[in-house]
Amino acid sequence: MIIAANFKTNHTRVSTKTYMDKLAAFVEKEAITEDVLVFPPATSLDSYHYHDNLRVGVQNAYPVEKGSFTGEIGLEQISEFGIKTILIGHSERRHILGESQEEIAKKFAFFAEAGFEIVYCVGEPKEVREKGIESVMAYNLSQFEGIDTNYENLIIAYEPVWAIGTGLTASNEQIEETLGELKKHVAKPLLYGGSVKVANTKEILEIKNCEGILVGTASWDVDSFCEMVAIAKRLS
Ligand code: 13P
């Protein structure tokens, strides 16, 4: 299973170090073999290499080695820390930061070419969900435009926009149906994300075709994130 923490715009360089040390000690002590991914903010990136299955990734980067792109980081900055994992297509980047599918596809192609492990996010807004599964799938599949879904180092995260940071989790039936449909199109590990917390981790991880979780809010506390990792271990 894959258990991933997306810090978004939370944690500092110092608190990320404390978090990572604690998480690494937990992974070691509990002999965790699940894949545990952490996406801290860019200012907190560093050479965190504790175990092969505990990996730090970037939440975003510009598809360039280096250059004049004010405010962005490129491959050179990421590579300094030996980072080879990236989150692409998160709904906050699509809907708040205005990233287009075309830009996302360019980013995907660049980091795939560089051999990165890519966690690629898709997910529909509330008004689409309300129209039913056909609309949901048409919307989600449109987010694969320009994306090489056969890329070997690809993980898909299904994160319904209306369930992110809202406390509203998609129902188990909605998750199962959507993941089942996605699996018909993309033969890659599928994660669920959207208001996952310790209390619902087990039931979500037990859903058919759900191979892990991408956690925002509830992952910012290292103890709850460790608890989610422990739940995944007990299930596998
Ligand atoms: P929340 O867990 O805060 O809903 O965020 C989910 C998410 O966006 C993870 O990428």
Pocket of ligand 1 contains residue 154 by CB under 6 Å: no
Ligand 1 atom with minimal separation from the 197 CA: 2
For ligand 1, what atom is nearest to the CA of residue 194? Answer: 4
pLDDT at 153: 98
CATH number of the domain located at residue range(s) 2-235 in this protein: 3.20.20.70
119 Cα: distance to centroid of ligand 1 (angstroms): 14
Protein residue with least CA distance to atom 5, ligand 1: 216
**Rounded Cα gap, residues 215 and 213, in angstroms:** 6
- Ligand 1 centre to CA of 14 (Å) is 22
Q: What is the pLDDT of residue 227?
A: 98
pLDDT averaged per 10 residues, the chain (length 236): 98 98 98 98 96 97 98 98 98 96 98 98 96 97 98 98 86 96 97 96 98 98 98 96
Is 90 assigned a catalytic role?
yes
Cα(2)–Cα(232) distance, rounded to whole angstroms?
8
Going by CA atoms, what residue is nearest to atom 2 of ligand 1? 216
- Residue 159 bears catalytic tag: yes
- The Å distance, Cα 74 to ligand 1 centre, comes to 24
Residue 230 pLDDT: 98
Instruction: List, in order, residues 6 or more apart from 99 with CB less than 8 Å away.
Output: 89, 93
The verdict on pTM exceeding 0.85 is yes
> Under a CB-based contact definition with an 8 Å cutoff, are residues 231 and 198 in contact?
yes
Element (H, E) at 117: strand 117-122
Cα(24)–Cα(159) distance, integer angstroms: 26
CA 61 to CA 42: how far, in whole Å? 9
Query: Is any atom of ligand 1 closer than 6 Å to the C-beta of 169?
Result: no
User: Up-side HSE of residue 233: CA atoms within 13 Å toward CB?
Assistant: 17
Pocket test for ligand 1, best of 95, 195, 200, 228 (most atoms within 8 A of CB): 195
Find, among 62, 63, 89, 86, the residue nearest to 143 by Cα.
89
Helix (H) or strand (E) holding 120, with range, is: strand 117-122
In sign, the C-alpha dihedral spanning 17, 91, 155, 192 is positive
